Copies of this chain bind each other. A is one copy, B any other.
Amino acid sequence: MKRRIRLGMVGGGQGGFIGAAHRVAARLDDQYQLVAGALSSDPQRARDSGAELHLDPARCYADYRAMAEQEARRADGIDAVTIVTPNHLHFPVAAAFLEHGIHVICDKPMTTNLADADALQRLAGESGLLFMVTHTYSGYPLVRHARELVAAGALGEIRVVQVEYAQDWLAEPLERSGQKQAEWRADPGRAGPAGALGDIGTHAFHLAAFVSGLQVSELAAELTSFVGGRQLDDHVQVMLRFKGGARGMLWASQVAAGSANRLQLRLYGSKAGLHFDQENPEELWLTPLGAPAQRIRRGATAAGGAAARASRLPAGHPEGYFEAFAQLYRDFAHLWHARNEGIAPDPAAALIPTVADGRQGMAFIDAVLRSHQAGTRWVGLR
């Protein structure tokens, strides 16, 4: 029996959403043990948050640098750290842990600018450590199967990529109500220069690239901020040109009234189309030209090997967001064990988003900002 990976967490104190989601994801398959944290920069809150999680008080840090140093020195120190702070801290925190030889799991967007992303990619590369960026939606079994279908040619040559991500939680100025999630996301000092663009646009971009296997060559974009007084965009519109000639559109909005978390991807190829809707991840639609649409269920034989590998329950027993998230953690664990045992990892596990994907997300943000500032001119990705 393989031992559980010892995990630390930076950020994710009481009341946060994403820290708790990471912890459930890590716990679901019982391959991790959370043993240390810098859950808050406020010492009291750091201790209280740690106590709730049954952490040893001695391993509840208020400073991530101290945590990196001390954990690196312990015989039973953490193997990996999960970073769930506001965006502006991703880079320094990740750098600190890499420096101390600790593997990194980092939320997105990876940094607040492309230069930092490049720097971080270099650091990670030099360290030789594992670095996962949590584009959660790529953990869904049917997203994996969609990728597999495309790669196998089931769609023919892809012509059109339509991806969208619609939410409505910022349809009103929630950031002025004291809600913490909204507050830092609306603050350029902590979120960086991208609002909805960084928060959900990067997820849409990653999903489209992950499934289609295509690379955006150029884009033309416009950002809008609909809610008065908001400094960052809450609405993103992008036209896409892909290498090889495909065309597409990306739309992300946090003011789309009535939308909860509607991330949808539609691909159209010369032979078939494909449709995935994150709010109903138990089914994937394959729509061949001239034949009935097929509803492929997660858990069914027809969903293929990649989906089966990422499933925990039989068809009809709904899985969801936690399981998708847990799949990233499970794949990361697989890579970690393979590395320790000196064996070749399952190529499927190697599909998890890495520092390179994080860097591509930042290149997307960078291009959208440049195009927007240039009046929606076509610009290339750097």
Contacts and interface: CB of A to CB of B under 8 A. Distances in A.
Contacts of A286: 258, 292
Nearest to A253: B160
A314 interface: yes
Nearest to A301: B290
A125 interface: no
Interface stretch (A115-123, A272-280, A357-365): A272-280
Interface residues of A, number: 90
A21 B314 CA distance: 11
Nearest to A21: B313
Q: Nearest 7 A-B pairs (CB), nearest first?
A: A258-B287, A261-B316, A260-B316, A318-B320, A258-B273, A292-B294, A260-B315
A376 interface: yes
Interface of A: 1, 4, 17, 20-21, 23-24, 27-28, 30, 51-54, 155-156, 159-160, 162, 164, 166-169, 171-172, 220, 222, 224, 226, 235, 237, 239, 245, 247-249, 251, 253, 255-262, 268-273, 278-282, 285-297, 299-302, 312-323, 375-376, 378
A261 B315 contact: yes
A272 B300 CA distance: 15
11 contacts: A24-B312, A162-B164, A226-B270, A255-B268, A257-B287, A260-B316, A278-B316, A292-B297, A293-B297, A319-B322, A320-B323
A121 to B, nearest CB: 29
A249 B137 CA distance: 24
A159 B271 contact: no
A224 B249 contact: no
Contacts of A297: 260, 292-293
A318 B313 CA distance: 15
Given A155-B257, A294-B294, A279 B237 contact: no
Interface centre among A167, A248, A282, A317, by most chain B C-beta atoms within 10 angstroms, is A317
Nearest to A267: B257
A273 B256 contact: yes
Contacts of A285: 258
